[in-house]
Amino acid sequence: MSKQYETVFIMTPVLSEDQMKEAVNKYKTMLTEKGAEIVYQYNWGLRKLAYPIQKKKSGFYYLFEFKTNENVKGNLVAELELAYKRDERIMRYQTIVLDKHSIAYNLKKRTNKQAEASEKAKEV
């Protein structure tokens, strides 16, 4: 049986675009090498924080939604979060297990965004 997770992390705003992409690719590669399947990824971009973190008022937000099988060696989420803790570029992170209702909600939200984007493209 597989589980589906969602992880969001906030990177420091002093990173360049290339440094941000390199950090994201590092975690994407880590997930895929450990046997996870990336279901969805989304770059929220630079956003203002609700409260200062490490004396910074903004950060780059990034989201991964991924599936893992029980036969994956070791605890993938624990390894991922340990890598987040060790990385100086990551200011905050959160990983949650999605239940069937959350998975359905995320799928519905994604399809609505895609439909809106295609309607806007038709208008232009």
Across 76-97, b (16+ Cβ under 10 Å) vs e yields bbeebbeebeebebbbebebee
pLDDT tens, residue by residue, 66-113: 998 866 656 888 999 999 999 999 999 999 999 999 888 888 888 887
What is the tens place of the pLDDT at every residue in 17-50? 899 999 999 999 999 998 889 999 999 989 999 9
Domain boundaries, the chain: 2-99
Tell me, yes or no, if the pTM score tops 0.75: yes
Q: What is the spatial distance between Cα 86 and Cα 12, in angstroms, rounded to a whole number? A: 14
Amino acid 73: pLDDT: 56
Provide the pLDDT for residue 71: 63
Phi, psi of 69 (to 5 degrees): -100, 160
Q: Tell how far CA 9 is from the center of its chain.
A: 6
Residue with the two structure tokens 């939604």 = 65
Q: Higher pLDDT residue, 48 or 119?
A: 48
Choose the CATH number for 2-99 among 3.40.50.620, 3.30.70.60, 3.30.350.10, 3.20.20.80: 3.30.70.60
Question: Residues with Cβ < 8 Å from 65, sequence gap 6 or more?
Answer: 4, 5, 6, 38, 39, 40, 41, 98, 106
Confidence of residue 119 (pLDDT cuts 50, 70, 90): confident
